[in-house]
Amino acid sequence: MSSFVLPQLPLANVTTWLRPLPWVVLGALVSVIALVACYWLLRLVFPKTAAIARTTAKEAMAQPLFFVVLVVGIVALLLFPFVPYHTFGEDVKMLKDGSLTVIMLLSITLAVWTASVSVSDEIEGRTALTLLSKPVGRRQFILGKFLGIVGAVAILFVVFGALFLATVSYKVVYDARETANPDPTWIECGEEMAQIAPGIALAFMEAVVLAAISVAIATRLPMMPNLIICASIYVLGHLTPLLASSAVGQFPIVPFIADLVGTTLPMLDHFNIYVAISTGSEVPLSYVGMAGVYCLLYSALAMFFALLLFEDRDLA
């Protein structure tokens, strides 16, 4: 009776893919330190908002969905390097695209679900009314909820991102062994990791944008409509460039609808680096910076509408 045995790499190959990992650990530590520093700065400037954000983050990480998402993501990231993609030497690119998509979808699911539970359910269950009866304003309530959700998603990204980069480094060595190619150097493993690192930051920005939209929707609608609307926005946000290009030369109403969708909905395709992965090119830091500015502006706009919708909401 045969049993499944994971492939064994020679000791030299193990050393090769492990050598770049200290940089991954360093990046994870820097991310955690930056997250803690942001919290203490928020606590120093806006203590009430920081308290709500901390409570929301703890609630998000205590709910069963967080552990389900965490386990599913870890298992998927660990299994993907051993999946045969049959791409004639392009398995690393498929691993990057597939793993990045899984990380993004799981984090968005957690963000939208937490926004629905943390905002909508508290409003419907009169918990928000009790909280706002204390010296806590509605603006502090909404902003604290949003920042707490972003904090929980950020922790998820630190775990997934570190594991993802480690699997990419391992996949480079694993593919060379499976295809009988010369053993890669640790520098080649590090270059593959550096090429995908901006994609993790861009995926996090996309999750932040959808979290802001979900919080705004949760001020008026319950969980199920919120999930449906956010799923529709996710699909349309990635199809906006295709809609705009297909509307060229069509009836006037078609370009108008395409422009309307592109103007009102977020251009989520800005956070997609599939083209860079397929061509093997690096994403410039200037592009990541511009995407970060777009993320901040759209999230601020979504928070502005959230405050408008929540300002005159009857909580009684």
Least confident of 76-80, 116-120, 132-136, 188-192: 132-136
Distance CA 193, CA 64 (A): 31
pLDDT surpasses 60 at 42:
yes
pLDDT for position 11: 47
Distance CA 30, CA 158 (A): 10
Measured between its terminal Cα atoms, the distance across the chain in Å is: 67
Residue 266 or residue 259, greater confidence = 266
Distance CA 164, CA 103 (A): 9
Least confident of 56-65, 114-123, 191-200: 114-123
Per DSSP, the three-state class of 164 is helix
Work out the percent of the chain whose per-residue pLDDT is above 90: 26
Least confident of 82-86, 113-117, 148-152: 82-86
In which band, very low, low, confident or very high, does the pLDDT at 44 lie, cut at 50, 70 and 90?
Answer: very high
pLDDT for position 21: 85
Q: What is the mean pLDDT of the chain?
A: 81
pTM: 0.86
pLDDT surpasses 70 at 253:
no
Distance CA 207, CA 165 (A): 19
pLDDT for position 96: 86
Residue 195 or residue 126, greater confidence = 195
pLDDT surpasses 90 at 10:
no
pLDDT surpasses 90 at 71:
yes
Contact status, residue 226 vs residue 130, Cβ threshold 8 Å: no
DSSP character string of 215-262: HHHHTTS-HHHHHHHHHHHHHHHHHHHHHHHHTTTS-THHHHHHHHHH
Residue range 303-309: mean pLDDT, rounded: 89
pLDDT tens digits for range 91-142: 788 888 888 889 989 998 998 888 888 877 666 655 655 666 667 777 888 8
Work out the percent of the chain whose per-residue pLDDT is above 70: 79
